[in-house]
């Protein structure tokens, strides 16, 4: 995996001032490396980088690029949540989304995201889950993707313990109708009880069925549906401040429209599918497009793993 854009809180954002340049017209690259007068980046020892971005020694020989498999610890550090500093309304809540899209904008192929994913995407998927308190997912995605409960992973046990988290994130299913298969392992045998977010007008018999199956029902709306902002607040009141949503597109669209999404982790798959598949976010459009800033960009085998944060 190669880092194409710095993974750092100091990443310049829209409106940042240009870096100062010295009298010899040298500047700094995005990661602070020196640029020569020809604009090419120089390594820490003054070695020049070629037009392909690879560092060259004093004799012009290429030095190896950081194109390797990252460890899970490195991925966890790269995707760490911001510090949970308390604000005027209580602990800081951070909601990130993790989605995958083809080059032509499809979020699925034959109704599922797996065909457009790859092994590295799944490693990042697992890492993001391991960092989260709760995974928010729409009922239709649960049905289509055959969702199972999150599992405890030994590789992240120490990290989660240090963060004051349980052994695995809870899954929180958003459903207005509560038409779910309560015999699924997601409800019958989760390591952490599954949450079901619904509206106050949900059918009492379906609420009872959910609770009988072992799910914890959370009311997050006055009518049949769930209010996204209220859902985020309800999860925070339960102690869940590091939130992750994996869609689907309709739920993500609702979160975008409600302006509660803080970060988007988007994998761009080097594939074309055509057809009429959904985009990563659906539903009604927002009045004004929401601006997000690029925080980091990684690449492996043609896949781009981007991370954008609310501007």
Q: Does residue 308 surpass a pLDDT of 80?
A: yes
Map residue 73 onto helix, strand or coil.
Answer: helix
What confidence score (pLDDT) does residue 215 get? 95
Beta-strand runs (E) in the chain: 2-5, 27-28, 34-35, 94-102, 134-138, 170-174, 195-198, 216-219, 242-245, 263-269, 292-300, 303-310
Helices and strands (DSSP H and E) totals, the chain:
8, 12
What confidence score (pLDDT) does residue 204 get? 96
Q: Residue 285 carries which DSSP code?
A: P
At 8, is the pLDDT very low, low, confident or very high (cuts 50, 70, 90)?
A: low
CB proximity list for 304: less than 8 A, separation 6 or greater: 4, 267, 268, 297, 298
Q: Is there a contact between 55 and 62 (Cβ–Cβ < 8 Å)?
A: yes
Q: Which residue has the tokens 């985009």?
A: 279
Q: How far apart are CA 159 and CA 21, in angstroms?
A: 41
At 201, is the pLDDT very low, low, confident or very high (cuts 50, 70, 90)?
A: very high
Beta-strand runs (E) in 73-161: 94-102, 134-138
Q: Is there a contact between 2 and 67 (Cβ–Cβ < 8 Å)?
A: yes
Q: Is there a contact between 203 and 227 (Cβ–Cβ < 8 Å)?
A: no
Q: What is the pLDDT of residues 46-100, one digit of tens each?
A: 444 444 444 443 333 333 356 788 999 999 999 999 987 666 666 789 999 999 9
CA atoms lying within 13 Å on the CB side of residue 153: 16
What confidence score (pLDDT) does residue 294 get? 95
| Global confidence as pTM | 0.80
- Burial zone of 3 (CB within 10 Å; 0-12 exposed, 13-18 middle, 19+ buried): middle
Angle at 110 between CA 106 and CA 112, to 5 degrees: 75
Q: What is the pLDDT of residues 286-302, one digit of tens each?
A: 989 999 999 999 999 99
Q: What is the pLDDT of residues 223-262, one digit of tens each?
A: 989 999 999 999 999 999 999 999 889 999 999 999 999 9
Q: Which of 28-42, 101-115, 130-144, 208-222 has the lowest mean pLDDT?
A: 28-42
**Mean pLDDT on 5-24:** 48
What confidence score (pLDDT) does residue 260 get? 96
Share of the chain above pLDDT 70, in %: 79
Q: Does residue 219 surpass a pLDDT of 90?
A: yes
Q: How far apart are CA 222 and CA 196, in angstroms?
A: 15
């Amino acid at each position: 995996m190669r880092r194409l854009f710095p993974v750092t809180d100091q990443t310049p954002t829209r409106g940042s001032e240009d870096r100062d340049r010295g009298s010899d017209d040298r500047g700094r690259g995005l990661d602070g490396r020196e640029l020569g007068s020809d604009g090419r980046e120089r390594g820490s020892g003054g070695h020049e980088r070629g037009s392909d971005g690879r560092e060259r020694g004093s004799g012009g020989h290429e030095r190896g690029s950081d194109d390797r498999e990252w460890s899970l610890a490195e991925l966890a550090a790269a995707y760490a949540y911001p510090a949970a500093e308390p604000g005027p309304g209580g602990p800081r809540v951070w909601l990130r989304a993790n989605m995958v899209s083809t080059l032509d904008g499809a979020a699925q192929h034959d109704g599922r995201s797996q065909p457009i994913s790859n092994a590295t995407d799944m490693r990042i998927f697992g890492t993001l889950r391991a960092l989260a308190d709760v995974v928010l997912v729409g009922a239709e995605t649960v049905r289509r993707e055959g969702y199972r409960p999150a599992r405890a992973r030994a590789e992240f046990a120490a990290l989660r313990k240090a963060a004051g988290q349980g052994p695995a994130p809870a899954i929180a299913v958003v459903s207005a109708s509560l038409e779910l298969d309560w015999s699924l392992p997601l409800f019958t045998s989760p390591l952490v009880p599954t949450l079901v977010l619904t509206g106050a007008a949900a059918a009492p018999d379906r609420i009872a069925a959910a609770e009988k199956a072992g799910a914890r029902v959370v009311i997050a709306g006055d009518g049949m549906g769930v209010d996204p902002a209220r859902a985020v607040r309800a999860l925070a009141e339960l102690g869940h401040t590091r939130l992750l949503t994996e869609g689907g597109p309709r739920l993500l669209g609702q979160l975008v429209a409600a302006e509660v999404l803080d970060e988007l982790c988007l994998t761009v798959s080097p594939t074309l599918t055509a057809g009429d598949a959904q985009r990563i976010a659906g539903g009604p459009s927002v009045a004004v497009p929401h601006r997000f800033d690029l925080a980091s960009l990684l690449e492996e085998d043609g896949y781009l793993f981007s991370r954008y944060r609310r501007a």
